[in-house]
Chains A and B, each alone.
Chain A
Amino acid sequence: MTTIESIQTKQSSRTLANQLARFRELGIILFLVLIVIGATIAQPRFLSSFNLRSILLWVPLLTVVAMGEMMVIITRGIDVSVGSILALAGIIVGMIFRDFPEFNIYLGTLLAILIGLGLGAINGALIAWVKIPPVITTLGTLSAYRGLTFIVSQGRQIDPNHVPRSLIHWSQVGPLGINLVPWVVVIAVVVAILTFFFLRSSKAGRNVYAIGGNQDAATLRGIPVAWTTFLVYAITGALAGLAGVLYASRFGFVNPGETGVGFELTAIAAVVIGGTNVFGGSGSVLGVVLGCLLLGTINVALSVLGIAATWQLAVYGFVILLAVVVDAIIQRELRRASTGE
């Protein structure tokens, strides 16, 4: 009798858990559709190709950074220095383009990635081996890297005429002449797919979930916790470095006091909205990509509807809180379903 009951509750909790897990990604899509419909009713030209392009230009930058941030948050960490890494890598490579106009843009991109990797590795080493809490470490480097950005650039911005035209083309021209989907979108999609396979099919990727889910257990099972932690912050830095080049391509300038400021919040928002558990252990590429799309759509909708940019920060904050509250409710329901209390 008791066994039959327990089997039944197990099964019902299992389907409920699955439903809620699926609901998360469906929920974002639903929200997305509602915003699009609402914005289109209020302002029919919202669906113009110009606005769709704005969304598609806004999202890639965010997606590239959010992929790294997601991995960090899955390990139960956080990286608030990504905006500063983006700016420092962007400004250094921008200065090279300015001073050596013939410099190969692919080499420049690789250099930005390597700079980001190095800066992320400093974060990772401090967190993994010196054991400084992630928030403290990356708050410190948020400030330090931003400061370095001012120092190396002597406070001067990289002007549009110094950014190579071929780089700007990445945001204007797409493959096979499909200009609605520029190359930066393709880059972001490739990053997302690589992240997906890393997390799904590599041992290191699975270890990312394991150390976020239960660090004690991971240590006892012989999982290289410190190394994996280091790796995740280094990769996140590298992706932020790549985003620095994408920023220059998209906006045509890099400004030491403006570029990437507050970007960590947007990235964290996308990650959390995408269903990543803020307490570590779970998160999906698809969810986070949808989270980025949602934020991009909200962003463009706000400007199309004539809502001032000053409101946007407040709206982000609200959407993050909404996502966290929904997540907390889901987690509580899951616990209730699994313990039967």
Chain B
Amino acid sequence: MTDPSPVLKTNGIYMAFGGVDVLRDVTFEIYPGEVHGLVGENGAGKSTLAKIIAGVHQPRSGTVQISINGGGLSSVEIPNPHAATQLGIALIHQEPLTFPELDVAENIFIGRQPMTRGFHRVDWSQMYRRSNEILKSLGVELDPHRKVRGLSIADQQMVEMAGALSQEARLLLMDEPTAALTPNEVKELFTIMRRLRDQGTAIVFVSHRLDEVFEICDRITVLRDGELIGVRKSTETTVDGIIRMMVGRPLSALYERGATASQGRTLLEVDRLSRNRKFYDISFDVRAGEIVGLAGLVGSGRTEVARALFGTLDIDQGSVRIDGKEVRIHHPRQALSAGMIYLPEDRQHHGLVMPMSVTENTTLPILSQVANWGWLRNQNEHKITRDYVEKLRIVLRNIGQPVRELSGGNQQKVVISKWLLSQPKVMILDEPTRGIDIGAKSEVHHLMGELAAQGMGILMISSELPEILAMSDRILVMKQGRITGRFTKADATAEKIMAAATGQVMEGA
């Protein structure tokens, strides 16, 4: 890091998706021969920054400069990933982008195969020879003749890295490369990353796992809500320090839990629920009038637990009791009749039929109740829908309006009303306010508070710490398929939750 000239510098990058700011004024430098950690909460903008540098997204404003041939910095346009590749920038994806039907050598060289001189044909023997050399220099034992189909994620990552090296990448961007690896594979990956670093390659390591970030990175950059909070040398800071930088925003007063009801009987009791490779030994309960927050990073198994409870993912073992009765749920219908509903994260795909009207969407799960002899009765449908539109204060022109035309918050309310019709006892909400504007968020929060006050038990999955902290009576934290933290509203802090979610034990926690 004595080299004074960075290999790449971003200047005042600003990025927004659909009116939401994702990155604001990010100025960021990477030097040759360093592994640079990029950390932050979900949605902090880490992946977006990496993708801008790799040419996947174009920033709304700001510039990227790179050093050409070790010289000074000059501004470059990176209109697409291919352009990035030619500038020596390679993005290694969390899920490797490979061609399963082609062999390893071709995956390394696709689009840039060595050609014979005379007839300009693909020079297979040279391709295999060079693949062997590159794989050997990486220290990976892979047969270049082998088809990529069936290789482990770790091996496929090696193929992608070999592809990057074959075109002399000077900057490797690795987006959560360890997320799908076993501990041994992570160790091997780090060995290779160190070797590349020592040869002068710059590596950006985007990760949620702070223990790994501290193990491999020389410097760490923290992003929060799209802003660069600071850059620290990993030898000069601590995990606590980084976590504080990650969560250090003041909790806004937006998240106001309306009424906190006195808690009643246990409505949902989950006992040692396990599903191989997804989650293990999950036990918790939810009582009437209670909101239980389920926190954790994306991929920690939260959604899988919800799906298992609702019957769209089979479990290996464990038991579930709803309102004291043991239930075996293999299909959502069974969950519904037991009195449990689930609002999936991706409401566009799972919760709503976008082109259909508000009425049609609302009454979809209870068609048998609004029908006579199998024929729908319009008055019934309309009456029920109007009741809920009023109760949930859904803003719309008329109830025949397609759901597609409503705002995100109002769409979410239609989903909620649709499921409330079945008069559930337990409600599982997966990221109930993701992607909706702030005003609508507090409306949804208010509604959740009211529903709990009426005696419902709510399990809320959320990646937003302020939401978890403000809404939950109790908080569960998951990491890599296990519950790693349990807090009451009184003793939960953002730092404690983050530590449990990233696998760090905080001092005094």
Contact = CB atoms under 8 A, between A and B. Distances in A.
Interface string A1-44: 01100100010011001000000000000000000000000000
Contact of A222 (B81, B119, B121): B81
Contact of B102 (A2, A210, A219, A277): A210
Contacts of A218: 99, 110
A68 interface: no
B374 interface: no
Contacts of A338: 149-151
A200 B122 contact: yes
Given A6-B152, A13-B150, A203-B113, A214 B122 contact: no
A220 B81 contact: yes
B115 A213 contact: no
A206 interface: yes
B81 A217 contact: no
B100 A214 contact: yes
B101 A220 contact: no
B99 A203 contact: no
B304 to A, nearest CB: 17
Contacts of A209: 99, 101-102
A287 B184 CA distance: 41
B126 interface: no
B184 A2 contact: yes
Given A200-B122, A207-B111, A220 B97 contact: yes
A203 B111 contact: yes
B464 to A, nearest CB: 29
A203 B149 contact: no
Interface of A: 2-3, 6, 10, 13-14, 17, 197, 200-203, 206-207, 209-210, 212-214, 216-223, 277, 281-282, 334, 337-339
Contacts of A222: 80-82, 85-86, 111
Interface string B116-139: 000101100000000000000000
Interface string B71-112: 000000000111001100001000001111110001000110
B99 A217 contact: yes
Contact of B97 (A13, A206, A214, A339): A214
Contacts of A337: 150
B147 interface: yes
Task: Give the one of B81, B86, B91, B147 with max A CB within 10 A.
Answer: B147
Contact of A282 (B85, B101, B146, B150): B101
Which 10 pairs of residues, A with B, have the shortest CB-CB distance? A222-B82, A338-B150, A217-B97, A201-B121, A213-B99, A281-B101, A282-B101, A220-B81, A213-B101, A223-B111
Contacts of A3: 184
Contacts of A203: 111, 113, 115, 122
24 contacts: A2-B184, A10-B150, A17-B147, A17-B149, A17-B150, A197-B121, A201-B119, A202-B122, A206-B113, A206-B122, A207-B110, A209-B99, A209-B101, A209-B102, A210-B110, A213-B100, A214-B97, A214-B100, A222-B80, A222-B85, A277-B101, A281-B99, A338-B150, A338-B151
Task: Give the one of A212, A216, A281 with max B CB within 10 A.
Answer: A281
Contact of B121 (A202, A210, A219, A281): A202
Interface in B135-173: 146-147, 149-152, 163
A338 B101 CA distance: 13
Contact of A217 (B98, B115, B150): B98
Given A6-B152, A203-B122, A338-B151, 5 more contacts: A13-B150, A17-B150, A197-B121, A202-B122, A220-B91
Contacts of A200: 122
Interface residues of B, number: 29
A106 B463 CA distance: 70
A210 B150 contact: no
A218 B102 CA distance: 12
Contacts of B121: 197, 201-202
B150 A214 contact: no
A1 to B, nearest CB: 11
Interface string B393-406: 00000000000000
A5 B146 CA distance: 19
Nearest to B160: A217
Contacts of A221: 81-82, 85, 97, 110-111, 163
Contact of B99 (A13, A210, A277): A210
Contacts of B91: 220
A198 to B, nearest CB: 10
A17 B146 CA distance: 10
Contacts of A207: 110-111
A206 B149 contact: no
A226 to B, nearest CB: 13
Contacts of B115: 203
A166 to B, nearest CB: 33
A322 B150 CA distance: 26
Given A206-B113, A209-B102, A216 B97 contact: yes
Given A221-B82, A223-B111, A214 B149 contact: no
Contacts of B100: 213-214, 281
A338 B81 CA distance: 30
A185 to B, nearest CB: 26
Nearest to A21: B147
A200 B82 CA distance: 24
A214 B111 CA distance: 13
Contacts of A197: 121
Nearest to A337: B150
Nearest to A211: B99
Interface string B332-350: 0000000000000000000
Nearest to A338: B150
A202 B120 CA distance: 8
